[in-house]
Amino acid sequence: MKHRSETKAPTPLVDPFQRTITYLRVSVTDRCNLRCVYCMPEEGIEFQPRREILSYEEITAIIRVGAAMGLRQVRLTGGEPLVRLGFVDLVRRVSGIPGIEDISLTTNGIALPRYANELAEAGLRRVNVSLDTLRPERFHAITRLGRYGDVLQGIAAARAAGLSPVKLNVVVMVQVNDDEVLDFARTTLEEDWEVRFIERMPFMEEQETCIKDTSLVPGFVPMEEIKGQIEAEFGALEPSQTAAGHGPARYYRIPGARGSIGFISPMSEQRFCESCNRMRLTADGKLRPCLLTDHEVDLKGVMRSGGGEEAIREGILQALRTKPEAHHLWDGSRPRWRRMIQIGG
Ligand code: SAM
């Protein structure tokens, strides 16, 4: 017998501002094996109890309904997704959902040597690895727990497993790593990496334990400044057609380089939200139409009180109807309830 969601005609997920939502980012855990200074406190963080985290069956059920409504891409993230037991099995389940055309992963890369092959076999297509510095001692200082060499091995393992492209996410922060922009750009001359510079966004960590002295909160570096630095060194960047994706990054290439350079500028680009095509599912089962606005729809509550596919579908539509036109970081508005790690970066 056919699954009900497979027989339902797809309804495009169009929000009130005529943006079509095709992409769901799913956080599978709020736990992480690193403690990056700009993301998490070193200790004292309260993780959700296991029972509050969506099971793989629940995650799969939501994606299945979403796919019948027009979702096409799923990115699995966290916390650190690879620390959750049985993660490869989730990838396998998601890749079997009709309508899902692309499954990707955001990871710190540390566990990729162990899992890259299995992930590729299970249906993972590509991977984004977070790497904020190319200096081993600085890597340890930023992540508090990590070893730079482990990430490099992770990147190599991803490539060897055929996960492609490998994108590197670099959050550029004043006086933390802003002196490495040119070094990162230079790596694209020889490596076919996509290096993506990201402006740091403010979350609730500023208000509490993560960084107690708010004057130490690392500021973001505007993308125009970063692009200017790169062009002063390497010449005018060429827009890159091959790297262009469906997300918010704008891609360029140093003339003649093998790799490309992406810019993600939620803080400085006024029209950043105009092309938003995504929603987010938190590890504890809240569907969040916007990363940077606190409104959420409690899909876990819906499912655990007996709601089936129709109720999930209604929850997804409710989130869609309330997707804001844009975030309000410029007006000083901040996500108040959750850190990035609790939403899924
Ligand atoms: N553990 C995985 C990883 O390291 O990629 C996935 C979760 S992590 C929260 C996802 C991404 O969010 C990372 O690239 C991280 O650098 C980024 N991130 C965390 N806090 C951020 C912030 N305040 N502004 C911008 N990016 C942030």
Q: What is the pLDDT of residues 114-142, one digit of tens each?
A: 999 999 999 999 999 999 999 999 999 99
User: 165, exposed or middle or buried, with CB in 10 Å at 0-12, 13-18, 19+?
Assistant: buried
pLDDT at residue 217 above 70? no
Q: What would the mean pLDDT of 262-279 be, rounded to a whole number?
A: 92
pLDDT for res 325? 94
Instruction: Give the global pTM.
Output: 0.92
Hunting for tokens 């019948």 — which residue is that? Answer: 68
**Per-residue confidence (pLDDT) for residue 241, from 0 to 100:** 77
Cβ–Cβ contacts within 10 Å for residue 84, how many?
Answer: 17
* Residue among 59, 177, 81, 185 at smallest CA distance from 129: 81
Atom 13 of ligand 1, residue of closest alpha carbon: 130
279 Cα: distance to centroid of ligand 1 (angstroms) = 16
Q: What's the pLDDT score for residue 39?
A: 86
Report the residue among 28, 142, 144, 198 best suited for mutation to probe ligand 1: largest number of ligand atoms under 8 A from its CB: 198
Distance, CA 340 to ligand 1 centroid (Å)? 7
Per-residue pLDDT reduced to its tens digit, 280-293: 999 999 999 999 88
pLDDT at 210 over 50: no
**What average pLDDT does this structure show over 256-266?**
95
For residues 333-341, average pLDDT: 71
pLDDT band at 269 (very low <50, low <70, confident <90, very high): confident
- What pLDDT does residue 9 have? 53
- pLDDT for 13: 95
Instruction: Choose the residue to mutate in 77, 112, 171, 280 for probing ligand 1, maximizing ligand atoms within 8 Å of C-beta.
Output: 171
Distance 254 CA to ligand 1 centre (A): 25
pLDDT one-digit tens code per residue, 32-70: 999 998 888 888 888 999 999 999 999 999 999 999 999
- 3-class DSSP assignment, residue 171: strand
Provide the β-strand partners of residue 128: 106, 167
Evaluated on CA atoms 218, 220, 226, 229, the torsion sign reads negative
Between 134 and 345, name the one with better pLDDT: 134
- What is the CB < 6 Å shell around ligand 1? 32, 38-39, 77-78, 80, 106-108, 130, 169, 171, 198, 200-201, 203, 340-341, 345
